[in-house]
A and B are shown apart, each in its own frame.
Chain A
């Protein structure tokens, strides 16, 4: 079954062309969210590079308490998750939800207010996390005052999206809408588990809730909103209808059912009930079902269209992201096997895996979305397509350098740990070359971020200049 008619009926027109349908959208909220997200991507990128450098030069900035590794790492993680990726994803949702519903966003005012709250949260994190105000749970480090604001902003986002869906003109909902609505519903409970319920528990019980949250922050927040973006922009960027609507439903409902069971796989071999570990392993393997149906759908959509990857920058990011998604979601279930876990768990393999998911896959989707939408939002053309190509290759080569060296290094480290005759410090020394390569790959990735930021802002500034000169012509 092909994609619903309204998806392909929406204007494909080249950059700058504005159809009557397109002109009903104000998109102020989308612009705010995307532009601030891209700016935080750059700022937090500096933090990322700093902590990577600390592995190579452990004395670096070492006497300054606010710049020590343990204070900057939560800023890196939360800054990238909430400041960049989730903000960019929300910005893109504010763009495509009204378009898939055929109506204006329910309330631009509420949307802009949400964007302001979101910026307060991120700036608050930039100040508070280096001060050591850390709740002490992974991914839930933000002080309670900020996580309360996250809840407020999330509810505002939810109200806006659901109210837009409720007033929609098209009866049938495209798969991107389900994923966005699913994200909003599940995140509410997942976030509450990781940031509120944990206060009422201790020890292993608390760890179980924490890892339910950590796992589902990726599985039920970044995965569904990321797939919503991919499902919208892959057909759009390639001007090709989605291969199968039915298959997209299988993938969606399988994800909805399977993901939430797997949190305990973060504690395999650890002090948590064996039966719960086995349940987590079983469901981790079942994750292959939603992943492979989604990836098949995207690949089948591209059948006969692969030549477009030569010229089309958003499509390059999108389809590379799909390949990284396939790989990262093959690794995940494999890590959950007890025998593999005994080697890779707690090693440097894991950051390699996590970065492939959040940078290689979901950030690639978000970058593609920004490259696609920003010129359209500002009724202009992208500042420089060659520069966007440079961004792609910086991210790709830097990313692969990062992932692959950490996998090799992590696997090696795991084997060394399993031989207790090797002193621990020797397993640290062995990784020095790996961390050096990671740092230089990080520089490449940071160049990708910098060129991306420059390209987007230059596009925005170009458009303002053009608007002014157009106004001058009219007035003359």
Chain B
């Protein structure tokens, strides 16, 4: 069959598309049909099964903050996934408590997804509730004031715009909160 594709353009096109679509369909269309956890929002009320909690969609202000996170390209340097690596669960942890790993059901409302591919700054999948608004204000104005050695850019145009700043912080505080895993010492409380 393939010998003929050498001489016939039509034969070539048919063969090239068949080869492509076998893998294409099996790896994109089939997996969500097989794995329901990709589309079922996280919800657990039984502590025996792991951290409890419930995933709820973001409100209007948090969505505005998320749009700013997308616009400024925060996701180029910050991942949002605590991987199945011991070090990740420790780095995403807080006050000596390890973070649970990220699972697909925590992200079903996310679009565009913000998993990220590069970790120039720390992972943000469990950052919600760890730092208060004043910390974020100082940090966004100049990250090096709080973290000497940081290479994060300053974002004065966000800090100077209370509407945008509050929205962005509201979004950041939601990250990783659907699973109730942290020790009880929120700055917010």
Which A residues fall within an 8 A CB radius of B? Answer: 54-55, 58-59, 62-63, 65, 68-71, 73-74, 132-138, 162, 165-166, 171-173, 178, 181-182, 185-186, 189, 193, 197-199, 201-210, 212, 214, 220, 249, 253, 256-261, 263-264, 266-267, 269-273, 276, 279-280, 283, 342, 346-348, 350-351, 417-420, 424-426, 428-429, 432, 435
Asked if B147 and A425 make an inter-chain contact with CB atoms under 8 angstroms apart, the answer reads yes
Asked if B31 and A258 make an inter-chain contact with CB atoms under 8 angstroms apart, the answer reads no
Nearest-Cβ distance from residue A222 to partner chain B, whole angstroms: 16
Contacts of A186 in B (CB 8 A): 16, 20
Asked if B151 and A58 make an inter-chain contact with CB atoms under 8 angstroms apart, the answer reads yes
Asked if B156 and A419 make an inter-chain contact with CB atoms under 8 angstroms apart, the answer reads no
Nearest-Cβ distance from residue B112 to partner chain A, whole angstroms: 3
Given contacts A58-B150, A58-B151, A70-B73, A166 and B9 within 8 Å (CB-CB): yes
Nearest-Cβ distance from residue B11 to partner chain A, whole angstroms: 10
| 8 Å CB contact of A271 from B91, B107, B120 | B107
Contacts of B2 in A (CB 8 A): 249, 253
Task: State A58–B121 Cα separation when bound (angstroms).
Answer: 13
Asked if A205 and B71 make an inter-chain contact with CB atoms under 8 angstroms apart, the answer reads no
Asked if A270 and B112 make an inter-chain contact with CB atoms under 8 angstroms apart, the answer reads no
Closest 8 CB pairs of A and B: A70-B73, A136-B112, A203-B107, A420-B90, A269-B83, A132-B71, A260-B23, A346-B119
Given contacts A181-B12, A185-B16, A206 and B112 within 8 Å (CB-CB): yes
Chain B, residue nearest A254 (CB): B19
| 8 Å CB contact of A418 from B85, B101, B103, B109 | B85
Contacts of A264 in B (CB 8 A): 27
| Other A-B pairs beyond A204-B107, A257-B19, A273-B37, 17, CB < 8 Å | A58-B144, A58-B153, A68-B153, A70-B74, A71-B73, A137-B112, A171-B7, A201-B32, A203-B111, A207-B107, A209-B28, A256-B16, A258-B23, A271-B107, A420-B87, A424-B91, A429-B149
Judged by a CB distance under 8 angstroms, whether B72 is at the interface is yes
Nearest-Cβ distance from residue B16 to partner chain A, whole angstroms: 5
Nearest-Cβ distance from residue B40 to partner chain A, whole angstroms: 10
Given contacts A63-B154, A271-B102, A417 and B87 within 8 Å (CB-CB): yes
Asked if A202 and B144 make an inter-chain contact with CB atoms under 8 angstroms apart, the answer reads no
Task: State A136–B157 Cα separation when bound (angstroms).
Answer: 20
Chain B, residue nearest A220 (CB): B20
Contacts of B184 in A (CB 8 A): none
Asked if A210 and B9 make an inter-chain contact with CB atoms under 8 angstroms apart, the answer reads no
Task: State A45–B123 Cα separation when bound (angstroms).
Answer: 29
Chain B residues 93 to 141 lying within 8 A of chain A, measured CB to CB, are 101-104, 106-122
| 8 Å CB contact of B113 from A68, A173, A203 | A203
Contacts of B91 in A (CB 8 A): 417, 420, 424
| 8 Å CB contact of B24 from A181, A260, A271, A435 | A260
Judged by a CB distance under 8 angstroms, whether B22 is at the interface is yes
Judged by a CB distance under 8 angstroms, whether B75 is at the interface is yes
Task: State A264–B9 Cα separation when bound (angstroms).
Answer: 32
Task: State A260–B110 Cα separation when bound (angstroms).
Answer: 25
Asked if A58 and B152 make an inter-chain contact with CB atoms under 8 angstroms apart, the answer reads yes
Judged by a CB distance under 8 angstroms, whether B79 is at the interface is yes
A–B pairs, 19, beta carbons within 8 Å: A58-B143, A68-B153, A134-B73, A136-B70, A136-B112, A178-B12, A185-B13, A201-B32, A203-B39, A205-B38, A260-B23, A263-B27, A267-B115, A270-B115, A272-B104, A273-B34, A346-B79, A420-B87, A420-B91
Asked if B20 and A203 make an inter-chain contact with CB atoms under 8 angstroms apart, the answer reads no
Task: State A420–B94 Cα separation when bound (angstroms).
Answer: 12
Asked if A419 and B13 make an inter-chain contact with CB atoms under 8 angstroms apart, the answer reads no
Judged by a CB distance under 8 angstroms, whether B46 is at the interface is no
Asked if A73 and B35 make an inter-chain contact with CB atoms under 8 angstroms apart, the answer reads no
Chain A, residue nearest B13 (CB): A185
Given contacts A63-B154, A178-B12, A212-B28, A206 and B113 within 8 Å (CB-CB): yes
**Which of B26, B118, B148 has most A Cβ within 10 Å?**
B118
Contacts of A426 in B (CB 8 A): 149
Judged by a CB distance under 8 angstroms, whether B181 is at the interface is no
Asked if A260 and B113 make an inter-chain contact with CB atoms under 8 angstroms apart, the answer reads no
Task: State A172–B32 Cα separation when bound (angstroms).
Answer: 42
Task: State A136–B103 Cα separation when bound (angstroms).
Answer: 21
Asked if B83 and A73 make an inter-chain contact with CB atoms under 8 angstroms apart, the answer reads no
Chain B, residue nearest A63 (CB): B156
